[in-house]
Amino acid sequence: MSGKKKLAVIAIGGNSLIVGKKISVSDQYDAVRETTKHIADVIESGWQVVVTHGNGPQVGFLMLRAEMARRHTGLHILPLVSCVADTMGGIGYQIQQALHNELKKRGLPSNTVTLITQVLVDPNDPKFNDPDKFVGEFYDDGKATEVREEHPDWTMKKDANRGWRRVVPSPKPIEIIELDAVRSLADSGFNIVAAGGGGIPVLQKPDGSYVGVDAVIDKDLASRLLANKLGADLLVISTGVPQVAVNFGTEAERKLGKVDIAALGEYMAQGQFPAGSMGPKIQSAIDFIKAGGKEVIITSPENLGQAFARGAGTHVVP
C-alpha cells in the first residue's frame, strides 16, 4: 500500500447486525450505526480501514422470502449466489452510509465506498463433494421430501434436532478478483466495504471468463486473504465475545490476551475452537500471520476502540 496511514481490515459478523429479535431492515441499520461508531473510533485514531462483513442471517431471510414467493405466487427461486450478491449490496450500503455519516459528524474525511467483490474458488475443492454449510429454512420430514422432489440438485441434511436444511459447499477462497480496485480505492484515501459475506464465489472457465456458483465462502477466511493481499498492517476479526477463551464455558475457562500462533495451533489441535464458531476465526488469524501479517485482534465490535488504544481483546502475534 502506498498510502500514509496504516491499514486495518476489519471483519464484522452478520449476526452482530441482529440484536435479539430485532431483524427488520431498520433494526439492522440501527445495529450497523452502533458498530460503525466503533469503526470510526479506529479511523479517528489514525487508521484507514477496509470493512468486511458476514451475511448468514440476511441470506437466510432472502431465501425464505424467495421460497414463500415461489410457494404462493409461483415466482422464481433466487439462486444462492444472487442472494450473496444482494446482501453484499444491501449491507454494504448500510455500512457505507452509516460510516460516512459518523465520520462527517466528527469532522473527519468521510469518503467511503462499497465494492461488489467476486472471489475465485477451485472447482476441485473437496467441499464441493461434501457440502456442509447450512442455509435457508428448516423442513420437517414430509416437507423435506417435497423439497427434494422440487430441487433434485439440492443436498439436504439434518441440522441438529431442528429439522432438515439445505447444505451447500464452503470452498476456500483463492483470489480476490477485484483486488486491484480495492487497492486503488485505498490508495485514493477511501475507506472501503468489500468481500461482504466472504465474497461472491465464482469459478473461472478455460477462456478466462467467470461464472457464479452456489456456495458460501467463510467471511473470515476471505478477509484474511484480502488483508494479506493488500499488505494490511492489522486484521481485526469481530465476534460475540470480548476475548477468545480456552475451555470455554467451563470452570477452567481462561481468556487469552496476547498469544502467539504456536500456542493457538496447539489449542486448535486440542479441539478448543469448534469449526462452526471460533474455529475459522482462529485459523484465519494463524494464516494471516504465517503469510506475513503482523498482528490480529479478535474482539467484540463494542470493544474495538479499547482493543486499539489499550490492548483489550485477544491479540495474535507471530
> Which of helix, strand or coil describes residue 213?
coil
| Whole-number Å distance between alpha carbons of 80 and 60 | 10
Per annotation, catalytic residue among 13, 14, 136, 197? 14
Instruction: Please tell me the class of the 6-122+173-317 domain.
Output: alpha beta
pLDDT mean over 85-114: 95
- On the question of pLDDT at 119 being above 50, the answer is yes
Per annotation, catalytic residue among 136, 196, 281, 305? 281
| Whole-number Å distance between alpha carbons of 81 and 97 | 24
- Residue pointed to by grid coordinates 486491484: 180
Per annotation, catalytic residue among 219, 293, 305, 313? 219
Residue 211: CB atoms within 10 A of its CB come to 9
Nearest-5° Cα angle at 154, 148 to 160: 85
- On the question of pLDDT at 70 being above 80, the answer is no
Per annotation, catalytic residue among 5, 6, 15, 163? 15
Per annotation, catalytic residue among 55, 60, 127, 133? 133
Report pTM.
0.90
Domain locations along the chain: 6-122+173-317, 132-168
- 190 is written with which cell numbers? 477511501
Answer yes or no: 219 catalytic. yes
Answer yes or no: 14 catalytic. yes
Answer yes or no: 255 catalytic. no
Burial of 156 (0-12, 13-18, 19+ CB in 10 A): middle
Answer yes or no: 101 catalytic. no
Interstrand relation of 133-139 and 112-115 (parallel, antiparallel or unpaired): unpaired
pLDDT tens for 241-290 read 889 999 988 888 999 999 999 999 999 999 999 876 788 899 999 999 99
Q: What pLDDT is recorded for position 16? A: 67
Those residues with Cβ within 8 angstroms of residue 13's Cβ, 6 or more apart along the chain or in another chain:
53, 54, 219, 238, 239, 240
Answer yes or no: 15 catalytic. yes
Q: Which of 42-56, 142-156, 255-269 has the lowest mean pLDDT?
A: 142-156
- Residue pointed to by grid coordinates 479506529: 42
AA letter at 311: G
